[in-house]
Structure 1
Amino acid sequence: MKKSSRWSLLLVALTAFCAAGTIIGFGTGRAEYDIVEQFKQAVGQKQMSDWHPPIVAVVWRCLYGLTGWIGSLFVCSALLYFTGVLLTAEYVHRRLGSRLGSLGVLAVSISPWAYSQINIPWKDTILTGALLAGCGCVMLIRRGARSKRTAVLALVAVGALIFATLVRKNAIAAVVPICFYLSWQLLPIAQRTMRKLQARSSAASSSLRRFVAWLAGSFVLIFAVGGAAVVADAGIARVWHVKETHQEYQVMLDDVMFSVPEDELNAADVTPKLKKRINTSRALCYERGVFYDAYWNCFGRGHGGDYQPIEESHRQGLEKLWRENVITHPARYLSYRWSVYRFYLTTSALEYFQYPVNTAQEIGFGTGPEPFERAVKTYVLDFGVEKLGFTFKPWFWLTGCVLVAAVALKRRRAAAAVLTLTASAFLYTAAYFPVIPEAHFRYTHWPAVAVSIALIAAFTEHFRGKSKRPAETADGPLREKTSAL
């Protein structure tokens, strides 16, 4: 057996060990109100709704039907995450020729900031696993190689990206760079297929054609992924009679309540009942010192699983207020949105969920072996949050996107993969600007994992040492001037 194959087996064994330890150690996984709500929908105790992604409830329903175990979604989430980790580690080993770098990928995958969210099957951690698996498949494609392996990797990657988009709607921002990368990997195959139909031309026009073809292929993939997600979501809604909750009105409510002055609100042409409700709720929010997520904090819904939509009688008024009193004052709107986004960038909450909420314990969620739980709590909270608190702040990873991308451009090592990961993380974080609801660290899980792995890939030459043979790099062409397409 070749040394490279033996090392691949070692990576599989180490990743399997981490996955098994995580699954056994955390038992059923943690659960809070969102998870409890989705479990009740999965087992038919509540009507399925689009408050949280219906695809998660559908997957859980299938898993629970097969296993009868409440922790099946957590196991699926953990396995998806570590599959993505293994694929990216194998990329660093096979394509970049760095064994130490591949171990670095495994190490950062269980770093305090990455491991802190793995014990709960948030849609955010499921998203991280799906995006990581998709990226890993794209990275492992040998650029321009026409083979069954390439076709399988490309199809699995597209499937993972569609699933990621179904899991979280704003994931499309993170998916875009990965589609560009996949298009770049497959471009030589498309060129060879079309070569007989192309007339000979100058090198300049040929280069322009390649660039246009790359862009066209990228947008085709983006629309294919987005379109497939929309069709699948509509199919799920029809088959499982998914209830619409109109969450977009939550965002409108925040914008109206905290950016429109009271006198302007009172003069608006909406029902007196809505005006009174907003004014009363705003005063309560300010009294509690919060200026975001008004639906839960002060509008009257409260916590505990009451996922009912804003009253239909208020929706038309909110939409009218948002259209006539919010977006017509862009400076005021941007000022408010920046204040919330800045709070998100500099604050961190729910870094580690230690115990299931009471309602979760009542239906069967529990903790794992006590020594493991105590060790992970010490590792994540006492070491990670206390000693490395900056790694749990979104601003750190947003800055890291730019710095790591700059390193990749300068050194020309694994540039395509690194730029894909950092761009995906950056766009995903930036996309929260108009909609960020809370300062939970789970919203930053994908950027933290993506930038951590990108950093390892960017410095692979330091891990290679004296290698007797060049790495089988899929990103090698980026070192040449012609690689810019």
Structure 2
Amino acid sequence: MVRARSSAGSVVGRSRSPLPWAVAAALLFCAALAMRFPGVAMYDSVTQYQQAASGSYDDWHPPIMAHAWALLNHIHGGTGPFFLVQMLLWWSGLGLLSVALGQQRRHGAAALVLLVGIAPLWLGWTTVVLKDAQMACCLVAAAGLAGYWRFDRRNMPISAVVLTALLLIYATLVRGNAVFATIPFAMALTGWPRRDRLWVQVLAGVVLTLAVLAISPFINHRLLRAAPSGVERVLPLYDMTGIAHYARLPSIAAVPPALWAESEQKGCYTPYYWNPYGEDRQCGGIGTAAVFEDGAEPHLMRDWIGQVLRHPVAYARHRLSHLNSNLRFWVRGSEPDAIPPIDSEPNKDGLGARPTAGARLLISAATIMLATPLGWPVFWLAIAGALTWASAGRTEPQARLGRALAISALCMSGSFAVVSIASDLRYHLWSMVAAALALILLIDARALDRRRALISGGLVLAVVAIGLVARLGAAAPVYIPVMPPATASTS
């Protein structure tokens, strides 16, 4: 038995060598590389790679990823280096957690942590070189560092603290709404503010979140030299189109009444996403007038708030309809944008490679997982809420990390009720993984209040039952406007 001394001077027993769990994580890392190297590039990935190669950045996608990619291009071009970084973060984080649990003789929990890593839907998405995957991989690595040092009550060394902070900062900047996950995670992990009153903790979280959102444009535009793209205007535009649709308004700000009437006749509004208003072949004129055009409506934010206040019922219908689609709750079982891509977006930059047999098997398994509650964001949101409530008051290291993961998942997926514009399943990658890890850690630590766990477990089962009824045909198919065919170009 290896024995280590804690910072307080007490002797902490370790049950066995970390080697088996470290080797298992390393083997799974190698298997992931063999299946998907050099990674998969989606449309967003191709755009960011082109910015990295050209040195010309905008803020439509968080520019920190493009800058990081530009640095990696000095080592080797393409998706390979970034894919390797993502897999190192993913498997090192999960490996550290499994090692920490194995050293405490919690072998079942250690194995389940690695099982989360090979869950095909989640592994499929983490092998895509994409901001959502990078956010999840960074936070998994941060959780692994915290668990490795804190499960046996050791103080984290300065190097581990600095690395964890850097991972949290990068994760915050690599997705526009990541702050809703990273701030609650950091606060719950550190136990700050050290007050028992919930309202103090909520107020501190809201203030920090707003502060980060306020300084993010400065970081993107000044420090990272990204040109403004108008991306911050898309959410107000989408909300205003939703309100106008449900309230049957004749027009919205910055959009001529005839153009709005035409878009309604075409059926461009959908609770699924905002995209038709940014697509030239659908209703792109609305996006151009309100978002992309030079000198676009200068009072859009003011008009947005005013329209929400004047039509709260229509706003609520729009946001609830979108949230349902986003969380994939009362929906059919064949929603798009859920299965990880097996191949890269066609591109001229040589990104990606032909899929291997292993990759095809992985994506087939991901399709099966997607058909179960394990692939529903709403299921994991319910789990996260249940764990947050049932673990209140527990402060042991393993329980604290589990609770921090649950709170982060709850806040991230919950934020889509007000700040979302699309329903891609990958947006919930971190939330689903964090809730799964929280479930393992909190049950293993016996950190759940029995009465609360039984009540919340019943609510989770109710969510599953309703979702199954919807998928058996009770829900209407998701509505996505049909893209008109492209007209042939003439030279």
Q: Same fold (TM over 0.5)?
A: yes
Give CA-to-partner distance per residue, 1:138-168, whole Å, 9 cap, x none. Answer: 3344499785x44333322222211111111
Q: Are 2:451 and 1:441 aligned?
A: no
**Map of 1:351 onto structure 2:** 339
**Map of 2:409 onto structure 1:** 425
**What is the correspondence of 1:383-398 to structure 2 with a 5 Å cutoff?**
383-386=368-371, 388=372, 390-398=373-381
Give CA-to-partner distance per residue, 1:331-366, whole Å, 9 cap, x none. Answer: 22112111111121225533221111222xx32123
Q: Are 2:223 and 1:247 aligned?
A: no
Q: Are 2:93 and 1:84 aligned?
A: yes
CA deviation after TM superposition for structure 1 residue 259, in Å: 1.0
**Map of 1:177 onto structure 2:** 184
Contact 2:121-2:340 within 8 A present in 1 as well: no
Select the residue among 45, 69, 94 that pairs with 1:60: 69
CA deviation after TM superposition for structure 1 residue 424, in Å: 0.7
228 and 143 in structure 1: CA distance in 2 versus 1, 3 angstrom threshold = farther
Cα distance in 2 for partners of 1:265, 1:437 equals 20
Counterpart of 1:384, as a letter, is M
SS in 1 for 2:433: helix
Q: Are 2:261 and 1:279 aligned?
A: yes
CA deviation after TM superposition for structure 1 residue 266, in Å: 4.0
CA deviation after TM superposition for structure 1 residue 68, in Å: 2.9
Cα distance in 2 for partners of 1:227, 1:135 equals 24
Contact 2:247-2:314 within 8 A present in 1 as well: no
**Map of 1:105 onto structure 2:** 113
234 and 322 in structure 1: CA distance in 2 versus 1, 3 angstrom threshold = closer
Cα distance in 2 for partners of 1:371, 1:293 equals 33
261 and 175 in structure 1: CA distance in 2 versus 1, 3 angstrom threshold = closer
**What is the correspondence of 1:149-168 to structure 2 with a 5 Å cutoff?**
149-168=156-175
60 and 334 in structure 1: CA distance in 2 versus 1, 3 angstrom threshold = same
152 and 213 in structure 1: CA distance in 2 versus 1, 3 angstrom threshold = farther
CA deviation after TM superposition for structure 1 residue 437, in Å: 2.1
Cα distance in 1 for partners of 2:162, 2:374 equals 34
**Map of 2:10 onto structure 1:** none
Contact 1:73-1:121 within 8 A present in 2 as well: yes
Select the residue among 270, 279, 284 that pairs with 1:290: 270
442 and 265 in structure 1: CA distance in 2 versus 1, 3 angstrom threshold = same
Contact 1:29-1:74 within 8 A present in 2 as well: yes
Q: Are 2:351 and 1:375 aligned?
A: no
**Map of 1:366 onto structure 2:** 352
53 and 410 in structure 1: CA distance in 2 versus 1, 3 angstrom threshold = closer
| Greater relative contact order, per chain length (Cα 8 Å cut-off, separation 6+) | 1
**Map of 2:457 onto structure 1:** none
CA deviation after TM superposition for structure 1 residue 320, in Å: 4.6
Select between 212-221 and 3-12 the one with higher mean Cα deviation.
212-221
Cα distance in 2 for partners of 1:218, 1:326 equals 24
Counterpart of 1:54, as a letter, is P
Counterpart of 2:345, as a letter, is V
CA deviation after TM superposition for structure 1 residue 109, in Å: 1.4
**Map of 1:206 onto structure 2:** none
Select the residue among 13, 35, 47 that pairs with 1:37: 47
**What is the correspondence of 1:86-485 to structure 2 with a 5 Å cutoff?**
86-94=95-103, 96-142=104-150, 149-184=156-191, 211=195, 234-235=218-219, 237-238=221-222, 240-260=224-244, 265-266=249-250, 274-286=256-268, 290-294=270-274, 296-301=275-280, 310-316=292-298, 318-346=300-328, 348=335, 349-359=337-347, 362-367=348-353, 370-381=356-367, 383-386=368-371, 388=372, 390-405=373-388, 408=391, 414-460=398-444
119 and 283 in structure 1: CA distance in 2 versus 1, 3 angstrom threshold = farther
Select the residue among 30, 33, 36 that pairs with 1:26: 36
Same amino acid, percent of matched pairs:
22
Please, what TM-score do these two structures have when normalized by structure 2?
0.75
Give CA-to-partner distance per residue, 1:265-323, whole Å, 9 cap, x none. Answer: 5477x56x53333332333234xx734533x22444469xxx99521343325435313
Contact 2:391-2:442 within 8 A present in 1 as well: yes
Aligned length in residues: 427
Contact 1:179-1:218 within 8 A present in 2 as well: no
Contact 1:282-1:298 within 8 A present in 2 as well: no
Cα distance in 1 for partners of 2:426, 2:62 equals 16
SS in 1 for 2:297: helix
Counterpart of 1:10, as a letter, is P
Structure number having the greater helix percentage: 1
Counterpart of 1:441, as a letter, is L
266 and 316 in structure 1: CA distance in 2 versus 1, 3 angstrom threshold = farther
CA deviation after TM superposition for structure 1 residue 220, in Å: 8.4
Cα distance in 2 for partners of 1:423, 1:262 equals 33
431 and 217 in structure 1: CA distance in 2 versus 1, 3 angstrom threshold = closer
SS in 2 for 1:67: coil
438 and 228 in structure 1: CA distance in 2 versus 1, 3 angstrom threshold = closer
276 and 317 in structure 1: CA distance in 2 versus 1, 3 angstrom threshold = farther
Contact 1:356-1:366 within 8 A present in 2 as well: yes
76 and 5 in structure 1: CA distance in 2 versus 1, 3 angstrom threshold = farther
Contact 2:22-2:96 within 8 A present in 1 as well: no
Contact 1:77-1:125 within 8 A present in 2 as well: yes
Select between 72-81 and 231-240 the one with higher mean Cα deviation.
231-240
CA deviation after TM superposition for structure 1 residue 215, in Å: 10
Structure 2: 5+ residue runs without aligned partners?
A: 4-13, 450-491
CA deviation after TM superposition for structure 1 residue 105, in Å: 0.3
Give CA-to-partner distance per residue, 1:30-60, whole Å, 9 cap, x none. Answer: 1121111000001117x21110110100111
Contact 1:39-1:60 within 8 A present in 2 as well: yes
156 and 227 in structure 1: CA distance in 2 versus 1, 3 angstrom threshold = farther
Select the residue among 76, 80, 83 that pairs with 1:71: 80
SS in 2 for 1:159: helix
CA deviation after TM superposition for structure 1 residue 411, in Å: 9.5
Cα distance in 1 for partners of 2:387, 2:21 equals 25
